[in-house]
Amino acid sequence: MSDLTNNQAAVGADGAPLAAGERHAEVSAEPAASPSPAIERISDGLQEAIKWVIGSNRRPPRRFKSLLHGVWLRHPLHPLLSDIPIGSWVIAAIFDVIWLIAPGPASWAAMAAGVVVIVGIAAALGAVATGLADWSDSYGAERRTGLWHGLLNSTALLLYIVSLVLRLQAPSWESLPGAILGFAGVVAVTIGGYLGGEMVFGKGTGVNHAAWEAGNEEYEAVMPVAQMPANQLQRVVVAGTPVIVLRMGDKYHAISATCTHAGGPLDEGTLDGGVVTCPWHGSRFSLTTGQPLTGPATMAQPRYDVRVRDGMIELKRHDSH
């Protein structure tokens, strides 16, 4: 994605300029891959439906979308919720094994399994909602992997819902079919979890794309004050890292130019007062604090201290980063 951070417009196969989202999709897609047209059509339609439901295309602040992403938590919400059903359902499987080994004396284990199945289902509903919101902003190979990740985890959820119904209908909740469906659910959620890990660790989905940026311990001159326009984003480079600077009256604000969500070029984004909007997925950041105001981004932008000395604007990475 690094070639998207320059100011040259990308063009498609027909030579026409591409919109920001299209450029991201084109770069994110793997050239050697041959995705199924049917899968791509399903993904396109599903993403559009999800965006309509969560309000991705509405005017800011898009509170429901930001709620699902975890902007209020300053951390992606989906991973936190997804751990609960996985842990609950594994524990349920252990309880099921216990009562299957000793059905009479260990009947308590069947009821315990049913209780943790309920906990897992409740948390999984939230994990599905937040996962769909995150997936709606994905492209290319990560989108395809995410689709299978979601299908497997949704299958596990359905298996556990049926399993719970069977348990509730059985005396002391001792239902052999319910337990068998639970074991199948563990297999599905395990494979789904593996694919979730592939998205994060293999494809960098949802990671802070500014986490590895180099910082500087001393102020570095970036440009003369006379060349700094007011109320316009200016892209500069500090210690090899792209940074955007905003001059508002006599005050200066500076944050990393690389969007923490997916690496989008904030210097190509739109400015509204002291807020910049990423051109890729619409994340909005405060130029003053670097904090995300609207998802999908949940992590703050690295912030820079600014001073003016001898007619030059100088920047230094803020100590909090």
% of the chain surpassing 90 pLDDT: 83
pLDDT at 33: 53
Chain mean pLDDT for the chain: 90
Dihedrals phi, psi of 292, to nearest 5 degrees: -75, 140
For residues 161 and 319, the model is more confident at 161
- Report in angstroms the alpha-carbon separations of 251 from 15, 223, 305: 41, 15, 11
Q: Which residue has the higher pLDDT, 241 or 5?
A: 241
Q: Are 209 and 263 in contact (CB under 8 A)?
A: yes
Structural tokens at position 258? 């690389």
- The C-alpha angle with vertex 234 and arms to 219 and 297, in degrees rounded to 5, equals 90
Task: Flag whether pLDDT at 59 surpasses 70.
Answer: yes
Q: Which of residues 275 and 5 earns the better pLDDT score?
A: 275
Q: Please report, rounded to a whole number, the percentage of residues in the chain having pLDDT higher than 70.
A: 89
Helix (H, G, I), strand (E, B) or coil at 253: strand
Output the pLDDT for position 37: 87
Q: Check whether 189 has a pLDDT greater than 90.
A: yes
- Model confidence band, residue 8 (pLDDT cutoffs 50, 70, 90): very low
Three-class secondary structure of residue 176 per DSSP: helix
- As a whole number, mean pLDDT of residues 288-297 equals 97
Of 34-38, 113-117, 316-320, where does the model show the most confidence? 113-117
**Stretch 80-95: mean pLDDT, rounded?**
97
pLDDT value for 279: 97
The string of pLDDT tens digits covering residues 209-254 is 999 998 888 999 999 999 999 999 999 999 999 999 999 998 999 9
Query: At a CB cut-off of 8 Å and minimum separation 6, what does 140 contact?
Result: 25, 28, 29, 30, 33
pLDDT (tens digit, 9 = 90+) per residue, 131-152?
999 999 999 999 999 999 999 9
Computed over its alpha carbons, how large is the radius of gyration of the chain? 24
Residue 228 neighbours by CB distance under 10 Å: 17
Q: How far apart are CA 244 and CA 208, in angstroms?
A: 18
Q: 36, 42 in Cβ contact below 8 A?
A: no
Compute the average pLDDT of residues 150-169.
Answer: 98
Which residues have C-beta within 8 Å of that of residue 69, sequence separation ≥ 6?
A: 76, 77, 130, 133, 134, 295, 296, 297, 298
Please write the tens of the pLDDT for every residue from 9-43: 344 444 444 444 444 444 444 444 567 888 999 99
User: Which of helix, strand or coil describes residue 304?
Assistant: strand
Q: Does residue 173 surpass a pLDDT of 80?
A: yes
Distance CA 168, CA 178 (A): 9
- Tell me the three state secondary structure of residue 234: strand
pLDDT at position 18 is 46
DSSP string covering 74-85:
TS-HHHHHHHHH
Length in residues, the chain: 321
